[in-house]
Amino acid sequence: MKLSVKMCTMSRRQYRSRRRPRAPNEENTTPMKTALPGLFLAAVCSLSALADTSKHDFKGAATAEVYKQASGDDLWIYRFDPAGHDPTKDQRPAVVFFFGGGWNGGTVTQFEQHSKYLASRGMVAFVADYRVKSRQKTGPEACVADGKSAIRWVRQNVKRLGIDPNRIAAGGGSAGGHVAATTGICEGLDDPAEKTSEVSSKADALLLFNPVYDNGPEGYGHARAKPWFPAISPAHNITKDDPPTIVFLGSKDSLIPVSTAKKFDADLQAVGVKSEVWIYDGQPHGFFNESKNQKAFLDTVLKMDQFLGALGWLDGKANQAKLNSLLKMPLKG
């Protein structure tokens, strides 16, 4: 069986010019790596500024709705519709993105560019807020429960929103990648208030950007995830009914060893699930964000487009011009 591990080479000079300390919003629990307590504590503090539970203003680009109330807060989901979308006639594929932040914090704007791009390609795209430690004092199980609630909410509203109930993807980065992966792979862990729901919370495809999806004893965040392990760890729950998956990872990621990504890919393929993993040479955790590496941001979005096209979810060629227009910084040569 062919192993779909791809290597993507980035300029060493570009990597050095953009190189930063270990991802500021993650904790490192992998024994082979050395933690930097000072940096981590500073990062956790900085996340509080990002952990705003109020409604975000996307300047008219997105429609906001409350998909759930939990821990005393409204949890908002933001929808980016394709131009000309007619919910009364259309049944379009959809995607829900979840931000990263080590289950501690984060911001719904992280995947705004991805959502706008996929909306331009004909998908209904969402970014969803979810509970995190810095604002609701919750653990990773609440993050997972909210992720599943968001997917279920979209599926409950497919007729009103013009969405195909069998083509709802989940995507995310780092801890958000974990949340997304659990919606497609991990059974249970739904919000207790929704356990009797007949509407599935299972994603139909996964778009994962350096996801912390191994939460075993030598994986990410095991101390915090242990009460729900192994049910909460996507890497420990792979079965033949899992959705097609694409993963992006930097070879210098301080939280996720390349070997973890290769094993995850091999395990999915072994049970007959379509899987791709793209390894970016020399890149650190979070490399896919434009703020860290513009070239990698563009490349990962285009590969995501290609993956969705292969599933039959997107038509035609990628819209490079639209993607370039979404850049926050001048396009580099």
| Residue 42 pLDDT > 90 | no
Look at residue 20 in the predicted model and tell me its pLDDT.
Answer: 38
Residue 25 included in any domain: no
Residue 179 included in any domain: yes
CB-based contact 208:248 (threshold 8 Å): yes
Q: H or E stretch including 306?
A: helix 294-310
- Out of 6-20, 140-154, 317-331, least confident range: 6-20
Mean pLDDT of all residues belonging to the chain: 88
**How many domains are contained in the chain?**
1
Domain residues for the domain of 109 are: 5-18+41-325
- Percentage, residues of the chain above pLDDT 90: 82
- Out of 10-14, 60-64, 200-204, 324-328, least confident range: 10-14
**Residue with structure tokens 């821990």?**
71
| Residue 15 pLDDT > 70 | no
Look at residue 172 in the predicted model and tell me its pLDDT.
Answer: 98
Q: What angle do CA 314, 1, 270 make, to 5 degrees?
A: 80
Look at residue 19 in the predicted model and tell me its pLDDT.
Answer: 38
Mean pLDDT in residue range 78-106:
97
The model's pTM: 0.87
| Residue 69 pLDDT > 50 | yes
Is 120 in a helix, a strand, or coil? Answer: helix
Which residues have CB under 8 Å from 117's CB, separation 6+? Answer: 301, 305, 319, 322, 323, 326
What are the structure tokens assigned to 204, written together? 């139909």
Q: Which residue has the higher pLDDT, 277 or 6?
A: 277
Residue 32 included in any domain: no
Burial class (CB in 10 A: 0-12, 13-18, 19+), 230: middle
Model confidence at 195, pLDDT cuts 50, 70, 90, reads confident
Look at residue 332 in the predicted model and tell me its pLDDT.
Answer: 86
| Residue 206 pLDDT > 80 | yes
Look at residue 185 in the predicted model and tell me its pLDDT.
Answer: 98
Mean pLDDT in residue range 48-54:
54
- Out of 30-39, 176-185, 202-211, least confident range: 30-39
| Residue 169 pLDDT > 50 | yes
Residue 333 included in any domain: no
Backbone angles phi, psi at 224, to 5 degrees: -85, -30
Model confidence at 223, pLDDT cuts 50, 70, 90, reads very high
Look at residue 35 in the predicted model and tell me its pLDDT.
Answer: 39
Mean pLDDT in residue range 48-60:
72
Residue 24 included in any domain: no
**Residue with structure tokens 């599933």?**
311
| Residue 163 pLDDT > 50 | yes
- Percentage, residues of the chain above pLDDT 70: 84
CB-based contact 148:96 (threshold 8 Å): no
Residue 321's domain is classified under what CATH number? 3.40.50.1820
Closest Cα partner for 267 from 300, 299, 233, 301?
A: 233
| Residue 94 pLDDT > 80 | yes
Residue 72 included in any domain: yes
Residue 68's CB is within 10 A of a number of other CB atoms, namely 22
Rg (CA), the chain: 18
| Residue 49 pLDDT > 50 | no
| Residue 26 pLDDT > 70 | no
What secondary structure letter does DSSP report for 236? G
Look at residue 23 in the predicted model and tell me its pLDDT.
Answer: 39
Backbone angles phi, psi at 90, to 5 degrees: -90, 155
Taking the C-alpha atoms of 186, 246, 142 and 218 in order, what is their torsion angle to the nearest 10 degrees?
80
Residue 294 included in any domain: yes
Model confidence at 12, pLDDT cuts 50, 70, 90, reads very low
Residue 89 CB-half CA count within 13 A: 3
Residue 29 included in any domain: no
| Residue 264 pLDDT > 60 | yes
CB-based contact 22:254 (threshold 8 Å): yes
